[in-house]
Structure 1
Amino acid sequence: MQRVVVFDEFGGPEVMHIVEEPVVEPAAGEVRVRIEAFAVNPLDQMMRSGTSPATVPLPHARLGVEGTGVVDALGPDTAGLKIGDPVILAALPDASTRGSYAGYTTLPASQVVPRPAGLGVTEAAAVWVAYSTAYGALVEKAGVRPGDHVLVTAASGGVGRAAMQIARQIGAVPLALTRHTARKDELLAAGAAAVIATDQEDVAEAVHRHTDGAGADIVLDVVMGPGQQELLKAARPGGTLVAAGFLDPRPTPFPTGTPLRIFSYRSFEHTLDATVVKRMAAFLGAGVRLGALRPAVDKVFALDDVVAAHRHLETGPRSGKIVVTV
C-alpha cells in the first residue's frame, strides 16, 4: 500500500487529505518510481481550487507535476533504465490521476531523466518544472544567444531564477524584473546583471538604460495580464517576447502592431517530446556539474503537512521552491 494525497472537491488547502491505496504495476514501456520528494507548484494550487485551464475530474483527484525518486519497477518492453536508478519526473500531464503527491507513480520511461549527481533529493524535486520551462522558452523557442539581453519577469520565482541562470550559462545578460525594490540585492546575488523594480522605475526606460538604448533582445513573460504592454515597449524592434506563464489572472490585451516575434509557450509542448527532453536533461546535467544551475529551496515540509505546504504557497513571494518529502 502507499499513501496518496487526494481531493474530492475544489477549494482551499483543507480539501486535501491522505488515503491508502494499492501500488500500481507499470504497464508496457512504463516505469514505477518510488517518490522521495515533490515540489508544490502554482498549477497544483489551480487544480485544487478549480481554476486550472484543464479539466480535473472529481472525486479522488491527485496532484503533482514534478518530483524525484528511485525506479522501483519496470514494465514489459522497457529499456534504458534499471531498478534503483535515481530519476527526475520529466512530465506528468495526467497529474489528476498519476500525480507525484504520493508514495509511487507510474509513467512512460521516456518521461523520466537521470537525476544529476550533484543534486540532493530536495533540490532535485524542485528543479524540473522551473528549469524545463525556462530552457524551453529561452533556448528552444526564442533561440537565445550569447550577448543577448534577456528581460525576466517575476524574477524572484522559480522560473525567473532558472531563466537567469540559464541565460548566464549561455553567455546572455539577464535583466531581472521585480515589483519590490527590497529584492534587488537578493536578485543580484541570484545572478541578475541588473534589477529593475517596478515600484520605483519605469520598465521600458530602465531596460533601455541597461541596454545602451537598444531594448531587450528577449522578454520572458511569466506574468501576462495588462502589464505585458510595458514589456512590449522594453523590447528592441525585431526582438522576441515569449509568454510562458499566467500569474496575473486579468485579461492580456492581444499585442498588435508591434515589431516583435511573439510566442505563447507551455512546458508540455516540449516535455512530452522525448528528443527535446534529452536535450533538456543534457543541459541541466552540464549546468549542475559546472555549478551554473542550482535550484533554490524555500521551505521543506513532510507529507503529513501537505496542507501547510499549500498554505505557505498562498502567502506570497518566496525565495525558492516549496518541497514536500515523502
Structure 2
Amino acid sequence: MRAAVLKQFATPLELADIPRPAPGPGEVLVRIAASGVNPLDTKIRAGLAAHARAVLPAVLGLDLAGTVVEVGPQVAGFAVGDEVYGLSGGVGGLQGSLAEYAAADARLLAHKPASLTMRQAAALPLSVVTAWEGLVDRARVGAGQKVLVHGGAGGIGHVAVQIARARGAEVFATASAADAETVRQLGATAIDYAGTEVQEYVAAHTGGEGFDIVFDTVGGTVLDNSFAAVRTYTGHVLSALGWGSHSLAPLSFRGATYSGVFTLLPMLTGNGRDHHGEILREAAALADAGLLKPLLDPRRYDLDTVAQAHAAVEDGSAHAKIVVDIGSAAGS
C-alpha cells in the first residue's frame, strides 16, 4: 500500500510502498478515505513532540475516517463494510492514517456519523476527544453554567464550543477580530482577546464572578489568564496545553480547580481505549442531531501533496481543519 513515511525527524514525509497490515486480535483493517491534519502531526514530524513517542520510521496521521474491510479475532460491534472514524494512530508506534490502510484497535473507533462525509468525520477525532475529556469527563459541563473557551475558532476550540452548547451551557469564546463571526455562528459570544483585558470581559459577562468553566486550548499566557477568569470556589480550569511553568497563586486564591487533558494517553499506554470509542459514539450522535459539525478548510490535498497540507497548518494559513484525501470516497 502507499503511505507517507517519516524516516527522520525534521525531514519531509516520503511516499513509499509498504506492506499492507493484517488485523490482529481486537483490530479491524480500515481502508482509509481521509486523514485529518493537526498541529501535533507537524510537531511530531519536526521532532518537537517527545510526549507522542513516535517510533521511526513512522506513518503519521492521528485522525482517520474510512471503511472496515477485514475484522480480526475478538472484535465485536464492527463488520466488513462499516464506515468508521477514530483517533487511532500516528503516535507510540501505532501506524497513522497517512496510508491507504491501517490495522486499528477497534476500541479506538466508532461508526462514522451518517450525516457527515468522510472528510468531515476525519476532521473530528482528536478535537472531539480532547474537548469531551475536558468539558464532560473533568468539568461535568451542563445547563446553567457559563463556559469560556480560549481559541474558540481553533481546531479543539470550535468543537468545544459546540459540545458545551449541546449540553446546555452558555458559551463565550476568545477569538481574533477576523474569527469573531465564526465564533458567533457556532453560538458563542465572541470576545476579542487582543482588545479586551481579562478583568474587562469577566466583569462584562459574569458580573465579576468569573466563569464556571474555562477551557484553554492555546497554552502559554492564556492558561495564566484562565486562572484569573475562573469563578471563586466552584470554578474549573481545563487545559489541553498546560505544559509550561505557571504560577498557581491566582487559581489558589480563588479556591478553584484545574485539570490537564492529555488525549494521547490511551494510545500510548493501552489504558482507557474503550472510553475513546464511547466518546466518538456520543459525538456521532451529536453530529447526526445537527449539534456538531467540523469547520473544514476548502483546500484539497492527497498523499502526493501531503507536504503542502502540513505546510498549511504550520504557516497559519489554515483557518479551519486541513484534511488529506486518501481514497476516492473522501467526499466533500
TM-score by length of 2: 0.90
Partner of 2:180: 184
Letter in 1 for 2:214: V
**CA distance in 1 between partners of 2:92 and 2:99 (Å):** 11
Aligned pair count? Answer: 317
| Higher RCO by CA contacts (8 Å cutoff, separation 6 or greater) | 2
Q: In the aligned structure 2, how far is the partner of 1:94 from the partner of 1:51? A: 13
CA contact (8 A) 2:3 2:303 kept: no
Determine if contact 2:26/2:75 at 8 Å carries over to the other structure. Answer: yes
- Look up the SS of the partner of 2:36 in the other structure: strand
What secondary structure, in the 3-state scheme, does the structure 2 residue paired with 1:216 have?
coil
Q: 1:174 offset after TM fit, Å?
A: 1.2
* Aligned mates of 2:46, 2:168 — CA distance in 1: 40
Amino acid at match of 2:296: V
The answer (yes or no) to whether the contact 1:169–1:292 under 8 Å persists in 2 is yes
Query: What is the rounded CA distance, in whole Å, between the counterparts of 2:300 and 2:154 in structure 1?
Result: 16
Secondary structure at 2:238's aligned position in 1? strand
Map 1:53-202 onto structure 2 (within 5 A). Answer: 53-54=50-51, 55-58=53-56, 60-92=57-89, 94=91, 96-178=93-175, 180-192=176-188, 194-202=189-197
In 1, Cα distance between the equivalents of 2:124 and 2:31? 18
The 1:83–1:207 alpha-carbon spacing in structure 2 relative to 1, beyond 3 Å, is same
Moved more, 180-189 or 23-32: 180-189
Aligned amino acid, residue 204 of structure 1 = Q
2:284 corresponds to 1:285: yes
Opposite residue 62 of structure 1, the aligned amino acid is V
For 2:90 and 2:37, locate their aligned partners in 1 and report how far apart those are by CA, in whole Å: 15
Instruction: Deviation per CA, 1:292-313: give whole Å up to 9, x if none.
Output: 1001111331221100001111
- Asked if structure 1 preserves the Cα contact closer than 8 Å seen for 2:54 and 2:92, the reply is no
CA distance in 2, matches of 1:115, 1:70: 9
* Cα distance change of structure 1 residues 282 and 223 upon mapping to structure 2, 3 Å threshold: same
Q: Secondary structure at the match of 1:70?
A: strand
Structure 2: unaligned runs, 5 residues or longer: 327-332
Aligned equivalents of 2:127, 2:293: Cα separation in 1: 11
Q: Which amino acid aligns with 1:44?
A: D
Choose 108-117 or 204-213, whichever is displaced more.
204-213
The residue type paired with residue 220 of structure 2 is G
- Which amino acid in 2 is paired with 1:73? E
Is 1:123–1:297's contact at 8 Å kept on the other side of the alignment? yes
Per-residue CA deviations over 1:228-249 (Å, capped at 9, x if unaligned) read 2222111111200011126xx8
96 and 44 in structure 1: CA distance in 2 versus 1, 3 angstrom threshold: farther
For structure 1, the 5+ residue unaligned runs are: none
Change (3 A) 1:97 1:287: closer
